């Protein structure tokens, strides 16, 4: 709809972009947090676990802000998509939310007890793993397609349609990718023996992440005809080759940074860049659909006046959230002191 003469402003596209941005920021910020939780399982020493947890203690609970923004934005700006996607993915989404709640409780309670500390450590590991696996399964379930009744504007599939070999593969891919983010985060935030261990684990997790990216990327175009056409029809195959080459180049730079030991922050930045590139590929794959390949952004959108009303609030709140998030990470930058903590 035009704002002034000759200038068009598509609020539906803007809202789609904002929700995608919120999800990407959540994946980046909470991804290394969940990955760190899963890495607890291979770090039995109490001091190392304390350092790992203290590296995210000042910022971890703010990361869920972006998950709330993404889910709330979907409900408000694209109510039809919300009504179709949620019933199809109730099980993994509810599992994710319960895991995040249990994980948050474990995060605080492990510092309050000696007798039950081991129990809460297991809860922290389990909550992180289930949340990561559920997010990947939900993504896989969405990508493979959702059965809907367009006439009734409702989900018409079964309770377990989301559970397929593809969705489970994406679930494990997300777990391995999050652990890579967690390992590279700890390389940046720690030193000494713990950093050396994480550097070694980042090599293994990096190889696993690149392998999963390859498997999922080659599998996805064969899920829907629209995906195949988007990536492989005509000269578009060049785009697929370019994206694949870019992922491999970033992976090469990350492994090189892990080997050189010069700048501890580069492995984390390059791992984030790989995630960002994969997210861009996901956007290319899905656009313009919000429910692949059934409902487009514009078909699922709320009325224009509702979108306009909400964009005013979003325009005020999102910069504030970005500002305080950036400030929190800036204040707590640098290495974690093993002798200090926030509990």
**pLDDT tens-digit map of 297-332:** 888 888 888 888 888 888 888 898 889 888 888 888
In the chain, how many domains are there? 1
Residue 1: is its pLDDT beyond 60?
no
Mean pLDDT over each residue of the chain, to the nearest integer:
84
Q: DSSP letter at 147?
A: -
Is 342 inside any structural domain? Answer: no
Q: DSSP letter at 263?
A: -
Is 301 inside any structural domain? Answer: yes
Tell me the three state secondary structure of residue 233.
coil
Is 336 inside any structural domain? Answer: no
| Pairwise CA distance, residues 149 & 190, whole Å | 52
User: For residue 219, which phi and psi values (nearest 5 degrees)?
Assistant: -80, -40
Domain that holds residue 197: 10-331
Is 209 inside any structural domain? Answer: yes
Is 213 inside any structural domain? Answer: yes
* Of 273, 170, 280, 288, nearest in space to 218 by CA: 170
Is 177 inside any structural domain? Answer: yes
How many other C-beta atoms are found inside a 10 Å radius of the C-beta of residue 129? Answer: 21
| pLDDT tens per residue across span 100-139 | 888 888 887 877 777 777 788 888 899 999 999 999 999 9
pLDDT for residue 241: 83
Does the pTM of the predicted model rise above 0.85? yes
* Of 5, 20, 9, 1, nearest in space to 288 by CA: 20
Question: Torsion angle of alpha carbons 241, 243, 246, 251, nearest 10°?
Answer: -100
Is 3 inside any structural domain? Answer: no
Please check whether residue 22 is in contact with residue 14, taking contact to mean a CB–CB distance below 8 angstroms. no
Residue 5: is its pLDDT beyond 50?
no
pLDDT for residue 331: 83
pLDDT for residue 317: 87
Residue 160: is its pLDDT beyond 60?
yes
* Of 63, 89, 192, nearest in space to 142 by CA: 89
pLDDT for residue 9: 61
Q: What sign does the CA torsion over 76, 80, 85, 86 have?
A: positive
Residue 7: is its pLDDT beyond 70?
no
Is 343 inside any structural domain? Answer: no
Confidence tier at 340 by pLDDT (50, 70, 90): low
Residue 36: is its pLDDT beyond 60?
yes
Beta-bridge mates of residue 154:
149
| Pairwise CA distance, residues 226 & 272, whole Å | 28
pLDDT for residue 329: 85
* Of 268, 179, 250, 176, nearest in space to 216 by CA: 176
> Which pair of structure tokens corresponds to residue 167?
């969705």
How deeply is 112 buried, as exposed, middle or buried, from its count of CB atoms within 10 A (0-12, 13-18, 19+)?
exposed
| Pairwise CA distance, residues 109 & 139, whole Å | 31
Residue 214: is its pLDDT beyond 80?
yes
pLDDT for residue 342: 57
């Amino acid at each position: 709809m035009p704002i002034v003469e000759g200038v068009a402003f598509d609020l539906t596209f803007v809202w789609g972009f904002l929700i995608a941005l919120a999800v990407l920021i959540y994946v980046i910020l909470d991804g290394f947090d969940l990955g760190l939780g899963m890495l607890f399982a291979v770090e039995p020493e109490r001091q190392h676990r304390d350092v790992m947890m203290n590296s995210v203690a000042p910022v971890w609970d703010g990361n869920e802000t972006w998950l709330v923004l993404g889910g709330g934005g979907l409900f408000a700006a694209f109510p039809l998509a919300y009504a179709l996607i949620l019933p199809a993915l109730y099980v993994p989404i509810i599992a994710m939310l319960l895991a995040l709640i249990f994980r948050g409780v474990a995060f605080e309670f492990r510092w309050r007890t000696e007798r039950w500390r081991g129990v809460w450590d297991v809860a922290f590991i389990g909550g992180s793993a289930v949340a990561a696996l559920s997010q990947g399964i939900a993504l896989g379930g969405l990508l493979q397609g959702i059965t809907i009744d367009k006439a009734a504007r409702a989900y018409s599939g079964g309770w377990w349609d989301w559970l397929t070999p593809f969705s489970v593969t994406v679930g494990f891919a997300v777990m391995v990718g999050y652990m890579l983010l967690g390992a590279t985060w700890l390389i940046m935030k720690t030193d000494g023996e713990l950093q050396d261990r994480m550097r070694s684990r980042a090599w293994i997790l990096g190889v696993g992440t690149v392998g999963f990216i390859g498997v999922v990327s080659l599998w996805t175009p064969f899920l829907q005809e629209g995906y195949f056409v988007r990536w492989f029809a005509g000269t578009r195959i060049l785009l697929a080759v370019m994206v694949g080459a870019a992922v491999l180049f970033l992976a090469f730079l990350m492994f090189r940074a892990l080997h050189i030991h010069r700048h501890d922050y580069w492995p984390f930045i390059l791992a984030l860049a790989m995630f960002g590139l994969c997210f861009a590929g996901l956007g290319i794959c899905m656009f313009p659909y919000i429910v692949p390949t059934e409902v487009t952004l514009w078909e699922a959108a709320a009325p224009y006046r509702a979108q306009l009303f909400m964009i005013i609030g979003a325009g005020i709140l999102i910069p504030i959230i970005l500002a305080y998030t950036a400030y929190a990470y800036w204040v707590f930058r640098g290495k974690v002191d093993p002798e200090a903590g926030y509990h």
